[in-house]
Structure 1
Amino acid sequence: MEGGTCVDYFQRNAAADPLHILVQIADALHYLHSREPPIIHGFVRASSVLVSVTDVAYLGNFDFQPLQDPERNFDDSRLDDAGRWTAPEQGISRHHSTKTDVFAFAMLAYELYSGCIPYYDIPERALPQGTMSVWETIATNGRPRRPQHLSLSDDLWALIEHCWDQTPAARPSMRTVAQDLRNLLYVRSSDNRLTSS
């Protein structure tokens, strides 16, 4: 796509507010999760999102194998690479669900607001010196620190934290996430109109 990935987009537009892109990604995931049966994306991250030159986000990089063979698990060959976006329950069962997509969405939101991959300062695997790996950090409820981004509000950060809750059942649905993000975008737009008038 002419605009490139989400990573490319925010490298070119460092001052851009990621909220409008997050709303579009949340809407796309909600659409997938509302299908019968639900479609699990399984690989949500900034490099899976393409952004057009007109600022429209497209969610790609699916693994459609489960639709062809629902009894088979997702392609686990990509799991090591995706570990930084992967929910804690997947370290045990490698089971994907709508709630694992919600967890990955929170990591994607962190990625957009920080400009870094999740756990950028932690090795993928444990080091001999006893340094914790990404998996050990996620399994023990370790989460990235809040990025210092001017447009990252307290309400949005609270939503991100809710999405990466350690317990899958405690995470909101993507429908709820999309609604909450849309409300935050509306409030931000209203505030901008008030300050410019």
Structure 2
Amino acid sequence: MVLLSTNPTVQIDWQKRFIICRGIAKGLKYLHERNPPIIHRNIKANNILLDASCNPKISDFGLAKLYEEENPYIAIGAGGDLLYMSPEYATRRAMTVKVDVYSFGILLLEIVSGRNNADYRANQETVFLLDTAGNLNARGRLGDLVDPSLRTYDWDQAKIVLNLAMMCTDQSPSLRPPMSEVVAVLEGEKTLEDLSKEIALST
């Protein structure tokens, strides 16, 4: 994905980043609302294509599966990026649409921060973006994740995207919002508070 490119000549401003976040959410909503739902299973930066206007297209459906509600435990081969895998998928191979929601949350963090999910450092432990986000969130400093290279950005939108990312990457699948609700928040039809209340009532 061009957003995480090492090419310094490539710059994507905040407005385009928000368009990308919203577009990916809409794409996943479309897949998840089909009958039966389609689970992409490999949502990551490299599988998001951008057109000239930075409208995103989800690509690489090589690992996609139709969701079987009566049998969410699927034996899979080695594939995909483990760093984007939800806990229940990585450990128990439990596959529901919430697997994509988790990966989408990781992707949101990357888009806002301009950083890769995992920072490999020679002779040091790998630093994971989600861990960093969790630590910052616990201290009320989630906004520190915003890419410092952005000259200007809409803090209200950034706050929404970052908080959605934390909701989408919750350890419990039942506490992750469906993509339809994520889209509603990104389009201003619902607030984060509305979404939090609906998740609380549904569990």
TM over 0.5: yes
Alpha-carbon distance change, 64 to 157 in structure 1, aligned in 2, over 3 angstroms: closer
The amino acid that maps onto 1:160 is A
CA distance in 2, matches of 1:108, 1:15: 17
Give yes or no for contact 2:48–2:59 (8 Å, CA) kept in 1: yes
Q: Which segments of structure 1 move beyond 3 Å, counting only runs of 4 or more?
A: 4-11, 64-67, 69-76, 131-134, 142-146, 149-152
* More displaced 10-residue stretch of structure 1: 150-159 or 24-33: 150-159
Give the alignment's Cα RMSD to 1 decimal: 3.4
How many Å apart are 1:93 and its aligned residue?
1.1
Alpha-carbon distance change, 174 to 10 in structure 1, aligned in 2, over 3 angstroms: farther
Give yes or no for contact 2:19–2:55 (8 Å, CA) kept in 1: no
Instruction: Output aligned runs, 1:1-197, within 5 Å.
Output: 7=4, 12-17=10-15, 18-63=17-62, 66-67=65-66, 73=74, 75-79=76-80, 82-121=81-120, 131=125, 142=131, 144=133, 145=136, 146=142, 147-149=145-147, 150-151=153-154, 153-183=158-188
Give yes or no for contact 1:21–1:57 (8 Å, CA) kept in 2: yes
CA distance in 2, matches of 1:72, 1:158: 29
Structure 2 unaligned regions, length at least 5 = 137-141, 148-152, 190-203
How many Å apart are 1:16 and its aligned residue?
3.9
CA distance in 2, matches of 1:179, 1:46: 22
Q: How many residues align?
A: 168
- Per-residue CA deviations over 1:11-69 (Å, capped at 9, x if unaligned) read 722434311111111001000000111100101111111011132211111135634x9
- Per-residue CA deviations over 1:82-121 (Å, capped at 9, x if unaligned) read 1221111122112222111011001001111111221325
The amino acid that maps onto 2:182 is V
How many Å apart are 1:5 and its aligned residue?
5.1
CA distance in 2, matches of 1:24, 1:10: 24
CA distance in 1, matches of 2:162, 2:64: 34
- Normalising by the residue count of structure 2, what TM-score does the alignment of the two structures yield? 0.68
CA distance in 2, matches of 1:7, 1:66: 27
- Normalising by the residue count of structure 1, what TM-score does the alignment of the two structures yield? 0.70
Structure 1 unaligned regions, length at least 5 = 185-197
* More displaced 10-residue stretch of structure 1: 23-32 or 58-67: 58-67
Alpha-carbon distance change, 28 to 133 in structure 1, aligned in 2, over 3 angstroms: same
Give yes or no for contact 1:10–1:112 (8 Å, CA) kept in 2: no
The amino acid that maps onto 2:60 is N
